[in-house]
A and B are shown apart, each in its own frame.
Chain A
Amino acid sequence: MSEFALLYRSTQEAHREAMGSPEKAQQSMTKWRAWFKEMADKGQLKSIGQPLERVGSVVAGKKKTVTDGPYAESKDVIGGFSLIEARDLEQAAKIASGCPILEFGGCVEVRPVLQLGI
């Protein structure tokens, strides 16, 4: 089994759309919780992970310039991440395809975690 990071990306608009009305908010929340639970029940969820604020700072360059970030030009922002276990990238992507964020115009970036073992 290998480990994969799921990075949840969406634009602010898509995120608001997911919560578009109280009823939609309720459904979004229920779907996310059901999805995490499904992964946990199947033993695929290594760590549910953490949510991230959508804004922060970016420190860049030799001058260590601090600017508001992530990046002005990047529209979709990582709103959180989880760690899962899967056989291979293909299976990890299949798991990610159940993520509710896809219903609201967001995407999931699936990235293998590099391990020390060769």
Chain B
Amino acid sequence: MDVPQQDVPEHLFRHEAGRLVAILTRLFGIHNLALAEDVVQDAFCRALETWKFHGVPGNPSAWLMKTAKNRALDVLRREGTARRFAPEVERQLDSEWTLAPAVEEAFAAGLNDAQLRMMFSCIHPRLPEETQVALVLHLLCGFGIDETAAAFLKGRAAMEKRIARAKKTLAASKRLFDLAGPAGVAARLPAVLRALYLLFNEGYHGASPHAAVRAELCGEALRLVYLLLEHRLTATPAAHALAALMNLHAARLPGRLDAEGNLLHLADQDRSRWDARRIAEGRRQLELSAAGGELTAYHVESAIAAVHAQSPSAEDTDWDEIVSLYDVLMRIQPSPVVAFNRAVALAQRDGSARGLEEIERIKDRKRLKRYPFYHAAVAEFELQLGHPAAARDSFAQALKLARNPAERRFLQEKMSNLALLERH
């Protein structure tokens, strides 16, 4: 007896969950979010029942979509009078003549549109930023409560509570966010970009001990930013700049870890392992972002990443250019973190003494003391200036604050090298 061989595509259910919930919510209305999730769950149950015996169909996404569509029709017929659905389609849902075409259209037409509306709805002004990002991950990327909690290194119960509360806030809004009103899009887009930026950063620097989980978060942020780029109203220069930034940073992901999974400093990375296709795409997006007069922090940050991407080594980097880009960034979005990065670039250009000097000049410097990279950089400067004792103290501080095992190993290695050095 042969069993069907085709495998379930990786993350199939996760990807389809996000898409299907978005489409169904468009039909059912945002207040029926839970119903939409139920229908998706039903479709998944059916898939398990059927596929385990008959094998995975040739186009599993289409299969799931069709199953969800049929289930949605059942629900709309059965509860058409008892429940209120999306105001936009409610009239069509009143009669069997228009019901099926309306459902058909919702499924055929705007997959991207549905996902964008859901994305903008998740970035609800009444929700804290971190909750917005968690909700995007849960509803649009199909991360279950467990995976969402793990991504942020939060407890399951706390995350469950937070998401349940956030869903209530969403369900209380009258309708899904409407992209058609251009004023609305323009007002909420900066917060949407910010959430995607945070999602990407959670992947790039985040707390999850699994490099694979963090790479997935970066991948999801990229997927969502491209959804923005496919829509006339959301493909703004700032969105292109954010796409450039994500591509240029993601390009470095393959070079960030050595063969043992240890974190490598930018200067020590094998740059031939950087992803050339992503770098090219990042540059292309950076060019597209130049349209219009708007200069956002994403523009400047991606320009900095582009300088790194084109430099053959840390020594052969145009640090002058990088310092001046940080000067610009300090003007449009001053923060202790930006000032700190500028100081590090200055140290590369003018030496460690200058770096330390600049760091001491940062206003609000105490806010930086929560970040491991702050102490690690100070330690490197002290080391280069021949102050091993001060360096060791700072490395120890950094180690206490390390956010994931890779960072921890990186700093431990630094400290044991230092110990060796001191013994000789």
> Residues of A at under 8 Å CB distance from B?
15-16, 18-26, 28-30, 32-33, 36-37, 40, 45-51, 79-80
Contacts and interface: CB of A to CB of B under 8 A. Distances in A.
Interface in B129-169: 142-147
A40 B144 contact: no
Contact of A22 (B1, B2, B3, B16): B16
B146 A33 contact: no
Interface of B: 1-3, 7-8, 11-14, 16-17, 41, 44-45, 47-54, 56, 142-147
5 contacts: A22-B44, A23-B146, A28-B48, A46-B1, A80-B52
A87 B2 CA distance: 21
A29 B11 contact: no
A23 B142 CA distance: 8
B115 to A, nearest CB: 15
A21 B3 contact: no
A19 B50 contact: no
A52 to B, nearest CB: 8
Contact of B13 (A15, A26, A47): A26
Contact of B3 (A23, A24, A25, A45): A45
B147 A21 contact: yes
Given A26-B8, A33-B51, 7 more contacts: A22-B14, A29-B13, A30-B7, A30-B8, A47-B1, A50-B53, A51-B52
Contacts, number: 85
Nearest to B38: A16
Contacts of B44: 19, 22, 25
Greatest chain B CB density within 10 A among A15, A18, A48 is at A48
| Secondary structure type dominating chain B contacts | helix
A33 B146 CA distance: 24
Nearest to A46: B1
A17 to B, nearest CB: 10
B8 A22 contact: no
A40 B7 CA distance: 16
Given A23-B144, A24-B144, A25-B13, A48 B47 contact: no
Contact of A51 (B11, B13, B14, B50): B50
B51 A26 contact: no
Contacts of B2: 40
A21 B13 CA distance: 9
Contacts of A18: 45, 48
A101 B260 CA distance: 37
A82 B193 CA distance: 51
Given A20-B144, A22-B142, A40-B3, A49 B14 contact: no
Contacts of A23: 13-14, 142-144, 146-147
A10 to B, nearest CB: 10
Contacts of B147: 21, 23
Contact of A79 (B1, B12, B49, B51): B49
B122 to A, nearest CB: 17
A24 B3 CA distance: 22
B47 A40 contact: no
Contacts of A30: 7-8
A16 B13 contact: no
B51 A29 contact: yes
B49 A80 contact: yes
Given A19-B41, A23-B146, A51 B49 contact: yes
A30 to B, nearest CB: 6
A59 B12 CA distance: 40
A103 to B, nearest CB: 13
Contacts of B11: 22, 26
Greatest chain A CB density within 10 A among B3, B8, B47, B142 is at B3
A19 B2 CA distance: 26
Contacts of A19: 41, 44-45, 48
A33 B13 contact: no
B410 to A, nearest CB: 29
Contacts of A25: 13, 44, 47-48
B45 A21 contact: no
Contacts of A28: 48
Q: Which 5 A-B pairs have the closest CB atoms?
A: A21-B144, A22-B13, A32-B52, A22-B14, A25-B13
B3 A29 contact: no
A29 to B, nearest CB: 5
A12 B8 CA distance: 23
